[in-house]
A and B are shown apart, each in its own frame.
Chain A
Amino acid sequence: MTNHTPNSTPNRKVSIEQIADAASGVAGPALMAEVQSAATRDPRVAKLLSSFTSAVVAMKSDLLHEPSAETVMRAKALGARLATRRAESRSPITMLGEVFDRAGAVVLEWLNPDNGIALAGVRDDHGADVFEAVVDTAQITIRAERTIAKDGIVRMVGEVMRGDDMPVKAIIAVLDVDGVVLSTDATDALGMFAINLPIGSCEVVVSARAVDSTVHPTIVLPLGPSAPMRGGAAV
């Protein structure tokens, strides 16, 4: 604690250091009274004291507003991926990818307009557990939710539906980062599926069938800025 005024006098001028001490909370009672007295006499002192105090309070309160480093890191990583993709072409596929990116997944692909659809995703954040994408051309909606069961196994549960809310036949596969299929599932009569996810990054590919049961070839879009295109990832 500092006190620049051994003998306090009623109309003594105050220095800018004393005003700063008062605003910083390090002034003793005598100095505090003197600065406040000066502030009541002179609006400029009052203004300076007020602005110093406001700045100090704002700086101190920042401690309460610090997100965790992990939270910041995830926002940066996901945003950086999206920012990079922005520089690429703005194709419908890319935009569909952004939809899933926003939900915490990186998507993927969708090639044929006649009901063939596939998507793949990397789930790397635990914040966004629900996502939905509507593929207009094929009139297909995919809704999915990642859930963590009591046994610790992470599953993705969802549905693949047509625009008229009729279920769509589809096969879902989980691929590791090397493209190896880890598990598969098929939608049931209600268009629903549930599939286990590994810990860490993975791709989820959905291959939907057209009304005539044709499965169209699919392509998985690159997950990262430098990943090469991969074709024929239909399952």
Chain B
Amino acid sequence: MSSFESDPNLLLRCRRGDSAGWSLLVERYRRLVWSVIVKHRMRTEEAEDIFQHVFTTLITNIDGIHDENALASWLVTTTKRRCWRVSSQTRQSAERARSLDSDPDKSMDPVDSREDSIESRAQLEKQLVREGLERLGGKCKDLLEALFGAGGEPNYALIAEKIGIRVGSIGPTRARCLEKLTVVLSRMGFADAPDATPSVGSEPDID
């Protein structure tokens, strides 16, 4: 397992003005924030603006984050609110000539909708998987990212060369790495992960 820097530690570094810590924090959460923006179907220029706005809001309000272990949730909520606001402003601007019967902010705001809640949970679970990979580190992280994070059909020969294992070892290594990942995820509270104890060979229907 790699040494994984916790969110509270990263936040502490940011509070002290450590720009390297800030850089790590942006790296860790860039995909989470972007996934929320993509889900709201923002235009490219708006998306980039929102992305920057969310992270600068974080750094300027960093003393106000009391639950440091809920940073991911904070980022999701902040990003959603910003998306709604920008969408509302865009729509108001486009429809200024017409009078609106309903409050655009209200109609845009799905904060209580079940669908939105489920979507947020899915985004947070994806973030957990990203963090799980970071915690896993080493060859397992490299292999799983090469297999599943590169898009298209994986090229086993290239992956084997890059990771430094035989092509024939990819299958067994993938299984071990996925199992290790699910153990890590279980400890992190990932809903789909089984109990933290590895299960290979000990269960009735698993060889």
Contact = CB atoms under 8 A, between A and B. Distances in A.
Contacts of A41: 205
A202 B174 CA distance: 52
Contacts of A65: 31-32, 34-35, 38, 126
A74 B50 CA distance: 12
Interface in B107-166: 125-126, 129-130, 132-133, 144-145, 147-151
A55 B181 contact: yes
Given A15-B206, A41-B205, A82 B56 contact: yes
B35 A24 contact: no
Contacts, number: 196
Q: Which of A51, A52, A58, A127 has the most CB of B within 10 A?
A: A58
A7 to B, nearest CB: 15
A61 interface: yes
A83 B59 contact: yes
B26 interface: yes
A60 B59 CA distance: 30
A59 B144 contact: yes
A58 B129 contact: yes
Given A84-B17, A127-B48, A66 B175 contact: no
Interface in A25-68: 38, 41-42, 44-45, 47-48, 50-52, 54-56, 58-68
B5 interface: no
Interface residues of B, number: 68
B204 A78 contact: no
Contact of A83 (B22, B48, B151, B186): B22
Interface of B: 14-19, 21-23, 26-27, 30-35, 38, 45, 47-53, 55-60, 62, 125-126, 129-130, 132-133, 144-145, 147-151, 171-172, 174-176, 178-179, 181-182, 185-186, 190, 192-194, 199-200, 203-207
- Pairs A-B, 8 closest by C-beta atoms: A87-B17, A127-B49, A80-B19, A20-B175, A42-B205, A59-B148, A58-B129, A65-B35
29 contacts: A15-B207, A16-B175, A16-B179, A16-B206, A20-B171, A20-B175, A24-B178, A44-B205, A44-B206, A48-B194, A51-B185, A54-B129, A56-B178, A58-B129, A62-B31, A62-B149, A63-B150, A65-B31, A65-B34, A67-B47, A67-B48, A71-B51, A74-B48, A79-B22, A80-B22, A80-B23, A83-B14, A126-B45, A127-B53
